[in-house]
Structure 1
C-alpha cells in the first residue's frame, strides 16, 4: 500500500503564547487517506502524539472555500474526530475543536490581519459545529465556537455523598468551611448522551482552586462519571479583575489526569454560572486555573440551548508524518518520526527519535 504523507500541526488552544492553554495535535486527511487510516490506526497515532487530544480533520471533495457578499469567507464542511492518547474517542472536545479550527483558518486563510471567516465541522455525535474567526476590540485574533449547551440536574443523595468522599480523598488538604460544614456547596450531573458522564462540583469561594494539590486517581471511583469540574467564583483579586468564575477539570477515566483547559466542561459550567449570576445572554470572562492556565470569553446564548466559547490559539509546530499500512502476520502501521523530535514537549519518545527514522506499531 502506498505510504501516506500526513500533514499535521500542534496548536495550543485558549492561549496567546506557546506552552500555555491546552495543546492538541491536528492531522489533516483527504477522503482517500481518511478511508485508509482506520480508527485503530488513528488511536496508534494519537497515542504516539501523546497530546491531550488528537483531532483528525477530513476534507471532503464537497468541502469548499467561498466568499460571501459581506466578504467573510466560509470553509467546509470538514469532518472532525477527537481521540485521546488512551484511545478514547470523544463525543465532543472543545479545545480540540478550537485547535482544529485555528489550523484550518491558518491553512486556508493565512493572513496577518485576521480575515473574518467561518468553518463548519461535522461530528459523529454532536451535530454540525460552526466556528468563527475575528478580532476583539483590542485587535487580538479570537476563535469563537458555538457548542451545544448541557443540561444539569442536582445529583441524587447517594451520588452526592460519593462525590464528596471522592473529592475529599483527591484533595486531602481541602479545608472545612468557616461554619464547619463541607466546602462542597453543590453537586450537579450532566444530562444526555454527550454530558451524561459529567459532574460539576462547586466549592466555597474560600478555597483557592488554583493551588489545590489534586490526586485525580481518587476520582476514578466515580465511574462511569469521568469528567469532574471543580469550580467557584474565585478570590477577591480575580473578581476585581472581572473574572466571573474559575475551574479545574479532571478526566482520569480516559487517561487525562487534568485537562488544562476543557471546552466541553464549560458547556455545563457556563449555564450553571450564568444562571447563578443572572447573566444569560451576557459575555463573561472566566479562567481555568490549571498549571498551564487558560482564559475564555463565554456566553450562555438566549434560549439556553447553545454556549459560545471564545479564545486565542497559537501554532507550536507544523510537520509531516509518513504512515504505511501493509499486510504481514498482522496489520502494521509504520510511522515516520523524523520530524517529531522537537515537536512535542510531552512525547515520551522525544529523545529516542534523534536516532530513529521510523517506529512500528501494531494495530
Structure 2
C-alpha cells in the first residue's frame, strides 16, 4: 500500500520572533509536497497550539507573519459563562474562516448556576449555524476545564437557544472522555420503503 503524502507541513514557525507590545510575532510558512501555499488554517492552529502549550509564551495572543498577511491567534476563553450565553455570532464570517470546521466558545459558569463552565459551538459550514448540544465539542473542552478546575468530573451547560446539560468525566489513564446527559422522545413514526 502506497503512503499518502502529507498535505501540509509547518516550518519556520520559530525562525523569527519580535515583540510588538505584549504580543509575539512569528514568521509562519506552509508547504504542500510540491510547493509553498499561501494559507493553511489547520497548520496555523497547530502552530499556535504548540506555542501556547510549550509554556515559553506568557501572552494570550500570537501574531504570525505569513504570505497571506498577519494572522492573529488568541486563546478562546471568555471571561464568564454569561458572556458566552450573550454572544451574538456573525455566521457569515465564521463560514468564511479558512480551514475551520467551526468555532467553540467557552467561559467559566457563574457560581450560582450549578455548572462548571458554559460553551457554544457554531458550525455554519455544516449547514447548522449553532449546534444545540455538541458532544464532540465537549470532548475537546473536557481536558482543558478538568485541568483548569482541578477535577475529573465537571458539569457543562451548552448555552445555545435550546440549551443542554452534559455530565463529563475525564478518564486520563485511558485517554477517554465520558459524556452523560438526558434524552427525550419528541416524535415516533414509521417509514415505508
**Per the shorter chain, which TM-score range?**
0.5 to 0.7
Higher strand share: 1
| Residue 276, structure 1, aligned to residue 148, structure 2 | yes
Task: List aligned pairs for 1:1-363, cutoff 5 A.
Answer: 153-154=49-50, 157-158=63-64, 162=71, 186=75, 201-205=76-80, 208-235=83-110, 239-279=111-151, 282-303=152-173, 305-323=175-193
Q: TM-score, normalised by structure 1?
A: 0.33
Could you tell me how far apart the structure 2 residues matched to 1:230 and 1:304 are? 26
Count of residues paired in the alignment: 133
Corresponding residue SS for 1:214: coil
- Structure 1 residues 207 and 295: alpha-carbon distance in aligned structure 2, compared to 1, 3 A threshold: closer
- Structure 1 residues 261 and 158: alpha-carbon distance in aligned structure 2, compared to 1, 3 A threshold: farther
Q: Which has the higher contact order (CA 8 A, sep 6+)?
A: 1
Corresponding residue SS for 2:189: strand
Q: TM-score, normalised by structure 2?
A: 0.60
- Contact kept, 8 Å, 1:208 with 1:234, in 2: the verdict is no
1:224 Cα deviation from its structure 2 partner: 1.9
- Structure 1 residues 253 and 162: alpha-carbon distance in aligned structure 2, compared to 1, 3 A threshold: farther
Could you tell me how far apart the structure 1 residues matched to 2:148 and 2:137 are? 17
- Structure 1 residues 163 and 204: alpha-carbon distance in aligned structure 2, compared to 1, 3 A threshold: farther
1:163 Cα deviation from its structure 2 partner: 6.6
Deviations 1:96-121 (A, max 9, x none): xxxxxxxxxxxxxxxxxxxxxxxxxx
Deviations 1:127-172 (A, max 9, x none): xxxxxxxxxxxxxxxxxxxxxxxx993577449x7576xxxxxxxx
Could you tell me how far apart the structure 2 residues matched to 1:206 and 1:258 are? 17
Corresponding residue SS for 2:156: strand
Deviations 1:185-220 (A, max 9, x none): x1xxxxxxxxxxxxxx21222862112222222112
Could you tell me how far apart the structure 2 residues matched to 1:241 and 1:206 are? 9
Q: Whose Rg is larger?
A: 1
State the match for 2:27 in structure 1: none
